[in-house]
Amino acid sequence: MTEDTAVDTRPTKIMYVAEATAHGGRDGYVTSQDGHLELRVAMPPQLGGDGNGTNPEQLFAAGFSACFHNALVLVGRRAGFDLSGSTVAAKVGIGPNKQRGYGLAVALSVSLPVLDAGVATKLVDAAHEVCPYSNATRGNIDVTIVLG
């Protein structure tokens, strides 16, 4: 996209702010300011750690799947569909990038068992436009969405 045709997905009003603090990076713990979140963080064995804790990729997968599912239910409701029984699963991969750093890739698997494929695809596409995680990652990381 050129600069003058880019879609601006920044919020016009902040309605909620989440706060969390990391202690020890990928080998420590994370807490939220409200006390609802307190988790041990550990490198997964595939990256040389002991795996005795969660990791940022799991937290990102949980957040993206929950947020995308909420967007899906919202657009479904607006279109007159009850999406009870639907699910969204997220896989977040991490690996080296060409800039000598690391990057992420996301795969979302959406299950809409009560809808035909055409309607399901339209709702998923609409949710991808509404979801804040989709908007934040668009153009920055690969996000693949599969209807299953």
Q: Give the residue extent of every domain in the chain.
A: 1-54, 55-147
pLDDT band at 2 (very low <50, low <70, confident <90, very high): very low
Q: How far is CA 62 from CA 54, 68, 127, in A?
A: 11, 10, 17
State the chain's mean pLDDT as an integer.
94
Whether the per-residue pLDDT at 127 is higher than 60: the answer is: yes
Rounded to whole angstroms, how far apart are CA atoms 55 and 129? 27
Tens digit of each residue's pLDDT (9 = 90 or more) over 48-86? 999 999 999 999 999 999 999 999 999 999 999 999 999
Where is 39: in which H helix or E strand? strand 38-41
State residue 75 phi and psi, 5-degree precision. -70, -30
Say if pTM beats, i.e. exceeds, 0.85.
Answer: yes
CATH superfamily name and code, 55-147: K homology (KH) domain (3.30.300.20)
Q: How far is CA 28 from CA 24, 33, 37, 39, in A?
A: 4, 16, 14, 9
Please state which CATH number belongs to domain 1-54: 2.20.25.10
